[in-house]
Amino acid sequence: LSANASDSKSASSASASSSDALVFDPDAYTKLTKTVTDTDGDDHTVVYHFWKAITYVASPVDATYQSLIVSAPVEIDGETVDPANAPILLANSIGGYLPASVADATEVGGGGSAMGGGGAAPSGAPSSSASASASAPGANGNTNATGGATSSNQLLALAAGYVVIEPGARGRTLKNSGGEYYGTAPAAIVDLKAAVRYVKSNKGRIPGNVERIVSAGTSAGGALSSLLGASGDSPVYDKYLKKIGAADASDAIFATGAWCPITDLEHADGSYEWNWGGNDLSTGKQVDQTVSKALQAQFAEYQASLKLRGLGGFGPLNARNLDEYMVEQYLEPSATTYLAGLSDSARETYLAANTFITWSGGRATFTWPDFLTHVGARKKDTPAFDAFDLSAGENNEFGAGTTLARHFTAYGAKNDSTGLSSKRVASDIPELLNLMNPMYHLVEKVNSKRSKHWWIRLGTKDSDTSLTVAANLAARLDNLGDDVNHIYYWDEGHGSNIDPGDFIEWIAQVTG
């Protein structure tokens, strides 16, 4: 044993045999063939080596979730390819902060989150058809399936010659026989980091360039992807990683892809009201305006505290000019791209139905209030994330022990409607919030081991969170000097990924 005492990650006394248990076997694959339809509609035949579920920690709490699958292309359209030094797409399929398992996966894209389910059952069902289409949906064909967005990425990556690694992770609904929740925060991010450490510790054995890991995920999976990118090698996770017997290696990743990241949870109620506060629910009901206004006031303070400068030379951002910034930097360019891509007659039809848009000189312009009216019903009541009755998924994400759901904001706790005796958040909540928030690693700390390349996407009709969450993340990264590629998809809803081919090209560009 040659442990370096000055390296906090090298001593792993909890599991002396972890180094043996976590050795990737290069020969333990099966050879599979997949037909991948690219974004132009052309089919490609990919022969690849597939490693079914491998447990990535030495002391798993639940190996059903703490496992990953590996797919490495060896032949594309009859031409031999060598994946040994290819970029690695680390694609999680986490949705809703729920458990995600690849335990039963039999092919690439085999991951799945137990969205809407009880959470205990792994859902690694292979896709039913032999030919899996990875082409983008129509610009207005809102894809709400989180898995759809990510599986496009996986299939296109494979057909581009990249290695695809798909990790499972524990999620918020998992409960043991003692009634204890063992997948709530920070379990999912700890597991993803352990997966990265497994990959990196197997450099030279596992296919792909472990120094070129590109993470991808959508929604809660996008939040965790951005957190993975922001928090690389942060010591604040060490005790959790040690406990599960994570490999002794770095967990920093090279680049990060995040679609509709549902993140910055402790500020999400305020930003949600700043964005959607005036929009009614789908029932036509208006949300409690006292609550909405109180949360908006909190957001204004938070936004000012971030001291962000907008992209495109916009200058300092605050809650008063953020609407103008969102319109100029993101929404008008998004509509412009969308409309420019339509045929003349389709554009005319769209503009006739959406008269709030001025189309002039090949550019769309409109106001923020008109845009909000255009989006229409908000998805969530107020507060959107720390619900007074503890009914939000995020309340469960911050559950602990035998407690299913907890408040994680002072305002939520103060206004608790479930009869709790304490009107304050539990003492461990502040640390958990830091562990779950990429902004902690970018604002409070400035983590130099973060990824420096970022691909961020969000639909303009996605009211699962505020449109400013992704914009603030992007602004902070930009202000730190990182390479940020962030656009909004016009009229697209939650979970949409309409430019997966561009993402795959971007990976080649940034890793090349």
Among the listed ranges 90-98, 242-250, 271-279, 416-424, the one in contact with ligand DHB (CB under 6 A) is: 90-98
**Residue 333 or 393 having the CB closest to ligand DHB:** 393
Whether the Cβ atoms of residue 111 and residue 92 lie closer than 8 Å to each other: yes
Looking at residues 28 to 57 of the shown chain, list those that interact with ligand DHB (rule: CB under 6 A): none
CA dist 101 to 66, 117, 174, 436, Å?
A: 8, 13, 12, 20
Pairwise CA distance, residues 147 & 157, whole Å: 15
**Residue 93 or 133 having the CB closest to ligand DHB:** 93
Minimum separation from the CB atom of position 389 to ligand DHB (A): 15
Minimum separation from the CB atom of position 398 to ligand DHB (A): 12
Minimum separation from the CB atom of position 262 to ligand DHB (A): 4
Pairwise CA distance, residues 352 & 350, whole Å: 5
What is the helix (H) or strand (E) element at residue 201, kind and residue range? helix 187-201
**Residue 97 or 302 having the CB closest to ligand DHB:** 97
**Residue 103: phi, psi to the nearest 5?**
-55, -35
Pairwise CA distance, residues 411 & 148, whole Å: 36
Q: What is the DSSP letter of 127?
A: P
Rule CB under 6 A: say whether 173 interacts with ligand DHB.
no
Rule CB under 6 A: say whether 229 interacts with ligand DHB.
no
The rounded radius of gyration (Å) of the Cα atoms in the chain is 22
Q: Sketch the per residue contact string, 247 through 266, with ligand DHB: x for CB under 6 A, - otherwise.
A: ---------------x----
Per-residue DSSP letters for 456-498?
Answer: EEEETT--SS-HHHHHHHHHHHHHTT-EEEEEEETT--TT--S
Total of residues contacting ligand DHB (CB under 6 A): 10
Among the listed ranges 22-30, 89-97, 184-192, 444-452, the one in contact with ligand DHB (CB under 6 A) is: 89-97
Report the residue closest to ligand DHB, judged by CB.
219
Rule CB under 6 A: say whether 464 interacts with ligand DHB.
yes
Rule CB under 6 A: say whether 219 interacts with ligand DHB.
yes
Looking at residues 387 to 406 of the shown chain, list those that interact with ligand DHB (rule: CB under 6 A): 393-394
Q: Sketch the per residue contact string, 124 through 153, with ligand DHB: x for CB under 6 A, - otherwise.
A: ----------------------x-------
Rule CB under 6 A: say whether 270 interacts with ligand DHB.
no
Looking at residues 283 to 342 of the shown chain, list those that interact with ligand DHB (rule: CB under 6 A): none
Minimum separation from the CB atom of position 67 to ligand DHB (A): 20
Minimum separation from the CB atom of position 146 to ligand DHB (A): 5
**Residue 190 or 220 having the CB closest to ligand DHB:** 220
**Residue 194 or 220 having the CB closest to ligand DHB:** 220
Minimum separation from the CB atom of position 392 to ligand DHB (A): 7
Minimum separation from the CB atom of position 462 to ligand DHB (A): 9
**Residue 83 or 261 having the CB closest to ligand DHB:** 261
Pairwise CA distance, residues 259 & 265, whole Å: 16
Q: What is the DSSP letter of 443?
A: I
CA dist 376 to 41, 469, 505, Å?
A: 33, 19, 34
**Residue 50 or 276 having the CB closest to ligand DHB:** 276
**Residue 71 or 395 having the CB closest to ligand DHB:** 395
Look at phi and psi of residue 401 and say left if phi exceeds 0, alpha if psi is from -120 to 50, else beta: left
**Residue 153: phi, psi to the nearest 5?**
-60, -45
- Written as one letter, the residue type at 475 is A
**Residue 22 or 223 having the CB closest to ligand DHB:** 223
SS (H, E, C) 336-386: HHHHHCCCHHHHHHHHHHCCCCEEECCEEECCHHHHHHHHCCECCCCCCCC
* Tokens 């949360």, located at residue: 295
**Residue 462 or 482 having the CB closest to ligand DHB:** 462
**Residue 350 or 411 having the CB closest to ligand DHB:** 411
Pairwise CA distance, residues 84 & 383, whole Å: 48
Long-range contacts of 235-239 (CB under 8 A, 24+ apart): 235/8, 236/434, 236/435, 237/186, 237/189, 237/190, 237/193, 237/435, 238/8, 238/9
Q: Sketch the per residue contact string, 91 through 130, with ligand DHB: x for CB under 6 A, - otherwise.
A: ----xxx---------------------------------
Which residues here bind ligand DHB, judged by CB under 6 A?
Answer: 95-97, 146, 219-220, 262, 393-394, 464
